[in-house]
Amino acid sequence: MNGGEMLIPILVPLGAFAMVFGIVYIKSRENMAMIEKGMNPKEFANRPAPYRNLKNGLLFLGAGLGLLVAYLLDTYTIPFNVEPAGLYFALIAIGGGIGLVSSYRVEKKELLDKENRN
């Protein structure tokens, strides 16, 4: 084993522990700040998110379409001696971003329509 390969079994568990510790620490700090302001943290923990399914659906739809486009480009246009891994990642990210932007536009339009009705 080289020096870098020996660090992986050490750094991966340390990184996972640090991530979990950081999430718990930040969540507890947030709850303490809410208590200091006189708010109940349990009320805000289960807030409904009305557009969560729309956002997730459009994100996965965009990522799937990006993956499909990358596959089609890989199959029909790229020569055999080129590895198109970057193309797959880029088009998945672009498709997911388009899905999130379209979700934002739908939510914004709904919010503006709701304000105009009142």
pLDDT tens-digit series, residues 54-79: 888 899 999 999 999 988 888 888 77
pTM: 0.57
Residues 69, 94 within the same domain = yes
- Whether 25 and 55 share a structural domain: no
Q: Is the dihedral of CA 66, 64, 48, 26 positive or negative?
A: negative
Same domain as 42, residue 61: no
Q: Which residue has the higher pLDDT, 43 or 19?
A: 19
Residues 14 and 53 in one domain: no
Give how many domains the chain has, as a whole number.
2
Domain holding 30, by residue range, is 1-47
CA dihedral 58, 59, 62, 67 (to 10 degrees): -140
Whether residue 55 is found in the same domain as residue 104: yes
- H helical segments located in 37-84: 41-45, 52-76
Q: Which two tokens stand for residue 57?
A: 């659906």
- Which tops the pLDDT comparison, 82 or 72? 72
Residues 117 and 70 in one domain: yes
* Same-domain check for residues 33 and 57: no
Do 55 and 43 lie in one domain? The reply is no
Give the closest residue to 62 by CA, choosing from 106, 94, 108.
Answer: 94
The answer to whether residues 11 and 22 belong to one domain is yes
95 and 40, same domain (yes or no): no
Query: Rounded CA gap, 90 and 63, in Å?
Result: 10
Same domain membership, residue 98 and residue 78? yes
